[in-house]
Amino acid sequence: MGLLALLGMEAWILGSFICYVLPSLFLLLVVLLRLYGEGSNIWSLQSCAVDLTGKTAVVTGANSGIGKAVSCELARRGARVVLACRRLTEGQKAVADIQKTTGSKELLLRELNLSSMASIQSFSQKLLQEEPHIHLLVNNAGVAGMPCILTSEGLELTFMTNYLGHFLLTNLLLKGLLGAGSARVVNVSSYRHKYGFVNEQHLVGAGDPLRKYQNYDCSKLLLILFTEELAQRLQGTGVTVNSVEPGIVKTEIMKNCIWLYRSIFWLLSVFFKTPEQGAVPVLYLSFAEELDGISGKYFNSKCNLTLPSEPARDLEVAHSLWNTSARLTNLEKITERE
C-alpha cells in the first residue's frame, strides 16, 4: 500500500474519531454526571397516596414521552385529564394506551398547536367552556433540533413552541385556574437552560447569533424566568407555579436533529431515564402535598429544590420578558375580547 493511501486512511480514522467517538464519549460523561451526581430522588410515587378524583388537569405534549407518562399517572389517581396534542392521531393512540393501563374514562383529547396563537386561543376558549375549573396545568410540550424558522405569525418556531406558546396558554387559562380555588402550574424546563442566554429579539428570529440547537437552551431559560414572574403576579390567589428539569430522558425530543446527534442519543439511551422515570419530578410538583403554597421555585430531576442558573434568577429581566411576551402575543387585546 502506498504512502499516500496510508496517510489517507490515517486521516479518515482520525476524522472519524473526532466526529463520532469524541462526541459520544463526551455525551456519555455528561449523562453519567447528570444521572449520578445529584443523588437519589427524595420522593417517590409509592410514598404519596394523593387522590385526584374530581380534579381537572391539562397536559401539553401528552401524546408521547414525559407528557404521556404524566397523564397516565394523573388518570390512575382519578383526575380528569385533558391531553393537549398537536397530532390527534398520536393523541388517540395515547388515550387508548392510558385507558388500557388505568381503566380511566376521564380522558379528553383536544388539538393544540403551541406554535400557533390562533390554535392556542381556540383551544383555550373551547376548554374553558367545557372545564371552567382547572386544578393543574403541565406545560410540557417542546421541540429541539429545529433551525431558526419563523411561524406565519412572525415568531421564531422553537421559542414559540417551548416558551411563548405556554406563556399565552397559561394566561388564557388563568380564569379556569383561579376559579378552581387552589391550582398548580408546572413548567417543564431542562438542565440545558444553563447553556442559554436572554435576548428578547430571539423571539422574532433576530438578535445575537445562536449556536446550533441553542434556541432550545435559551427557550428553556425563558420558561424559568416566566415561572418567577408569574409566581409574583399570582401571589395570594391560590395558584402556584414552579419549574422543573426532568433529567436526561429517552423520548422523541431529538427527532428533528441531524442523524449524527440522533445516533449518539440512541446509542447512549441505555443510560437515560425512561419517560416514566422522567415524569416523577414533574408529578412531584403536580400534587405532592408538601409543596402546597410553594411558588416561583425551580426543582432538579431528583425533586430537590435548587437554584437555576444566574441569568434565570434575574427578576428585572423576567419582568421585561413578560412585557415583551405580552406584546408579541397580543395578550391584552385577546383577554379584553374574552
Integer Cα distance of 308 and 315 in angstroms: 13
Integer Cα distance of 239 and 292 in angstroms: 10
191 is catalytic: no
Q: Going by C-beta distance under 8 Å and a sequence separation of 6 or more, which residues neighbour residue 149?
A: 156, 157, 205
Amino acid at the residue 74: L
Instruction: Give 107: exposed, middle or buried? Use CB within 10 Å, 0-12, 13-18, 19+.
Output: buried
Integer Cα distance of 248 and 74 in angstroms: 22
Annotated catalytic residue within 216, 261, 284, 298: 216
The b/e string for 33-67 (b: 16+ C-beta within 10 A; e otherwise) is ebeeebeebebebeeeeeebeebbbbbbbbbbbbb
Secondary element (H or E) of residue 204:
none
Is the separation of the CB atoms in 227 and 312 below 8 Å?
no
Query: Cell numbers at residue 41, please?
Result: 430522588
Beta strands at 136-139 and 80-85: parallel, antiparallel or unpaired: unpaired
Q: Which residues are catalytic?
A: 216
